[in-house]
Amino acid sequence: MKDYLIKALAYDGYVRAYAVQATDTVAQAQERHNTWHTSSAALGRTLIGGLLLGATLKGEDKLTIRIQGNGPAKGIVVDANAKGEVKGYIQNPHLSLSLNEAGKIDVRGVVGTQGMFSVTKDLGLKEPFSGQTPIVSGEIAEDFTYYLAVSEQIPSAVGLSVLINPDDRIKTAGGFMIQIMPGADEETINNIEKQLNTTPRVSTLLDEGLTPEEILKGLLGTKDLNILEKISVQFKCDCSKEKFGEAIVALGAEEIQSMIEEDHGAEAVCSFCNNKYEYSEEDLITLKKATLGGN
Ligand SMILES: [Zn+2]
């Protein structure tokens, strides 16, 4: 089953809900960045959160999430858009901590408990929208929830989970986001809270073979789900040799000349997807000419 995300309404439209299966997406990130298990979980949860937040955007809009904590992960950056495409990296991919006291992957241990959680949205306007809140948990889902409540004033429940095999490969990954609209009654809220407290993690449910639709029904405690949209999701980076070439051009003719003389070439590595691009001396001469053309 390929990765996908569903958007739905429930309780007469007073509850907006999203659920995503992102196993291949997170596996792709794990393989590209060769992350070890605690780093995989931290990056994976942020990628899933990116997909869920991205699903609230429209058209060509996109967003960037930055988690800058005081833990050894140092920083996590994720880009997502409205089309179900996500990419991201963790500054320290090689973290493999022991499980925490609850027997779970110690994501807080790598993220840290202090720092900043920020979201920048490019909505096609002159100025990007930007909001940030302090890290309140380090487990990431709670940090998303806090950000949504404080910065966007949307009371939400967010779950992000990654299940990892002993050999570090991703077994399942997925998450949900439930948002309560103004005017929802007490009974609805209580009902959902009760379900949230008793429902296993999404990665566990996916492992049991449940679909995002079934998971949402369980989480909301209702069969009456109005599915608005189903979109496929994937790890996708838009980098290219041309784009990195433009960045080299921006360094200026002098810098390019020294690359030619000293290194006889250049290599660029995309931090989001780890693709490598090689530039031969000839490539660099062409790029050097482009610096003149731009003036
Ligand atoms: Zn890339």
Domain limits of the chain?
Answer: 4-235, 241-292
CA of 241 to the centre of ligand 1 (A): 10
Maximum separation of any 2 CA atoms in the chain, in Å: 72
pLDDT band at 294 (very low <50, low <70, confident <90, very high): low
Percent of the chain with pLDDT over 90: 95
CA of 245 to the centre of ligand 1 (A): 13
CA of 149 to the centre of ligand 1 (A): 32
3-state secondary structure of 263: helix
| Spatial separation of the C-alpha atoms in residues 183 and 192, rounded to whole Å | 15
- Going by C-alpha positions, the residue among 251, 189, 201 that lies closest to residue 45 is 201
> What is the number of other CB atoms lying within 10 angstroms of the CB of residue 252?
12
Compute the average pLDDT of residues 118-146.
95
Residues 6+ apart with CB under 8 A from 114: 69, 70, 134, 135
> pLDDT at residue 295 above 80?
no
Pick the CATH number of 241-292 from 3.90.1280.10, 3.10.129.10, 3.40.30.10, 3.40.50.300: 3.90.1280.10
CA of 178 to the centre of ligand 1 (A): 31
Average pLDDT, the chain: 95
Token pair for 253: 């003719």
CATH superfamily of 4-235: Hsp33 domain (3.55.30.10)
Compute the average pLDDT of residues 46-51.
98
- Measured CA angle at 71 (ends 101, 268), to 5 deg: 130
What pLDDT shows up at residue 292?
A: 81
Near ion ligand 1, which residues have CB within 5 Å? 237, 239, 270, 272-273, 275
**Tens-place pLDDT, residues 172-228:** 999 999 999 999 999 999 999 999 999 999 999 999 999 999 999 999 998 889 999
| Spatial separation of the C-alpha atoms in residues 74 and 92, rounded to whole Å | 7
What pLDDT shows up at residue 284?
A: 95
CA of 121 to the centre of ligand 1 (A): 20
pLDDT band at 265 (very low <50, low <70, confident <90, very high): very high
CA of 239 to the centre of ligand 1 (A): 4
Radius of gyration of the chain (CA): 21
| Spatial separation of the C-alpha atoms in residues 36 and 22, rounded to whole Å | 18
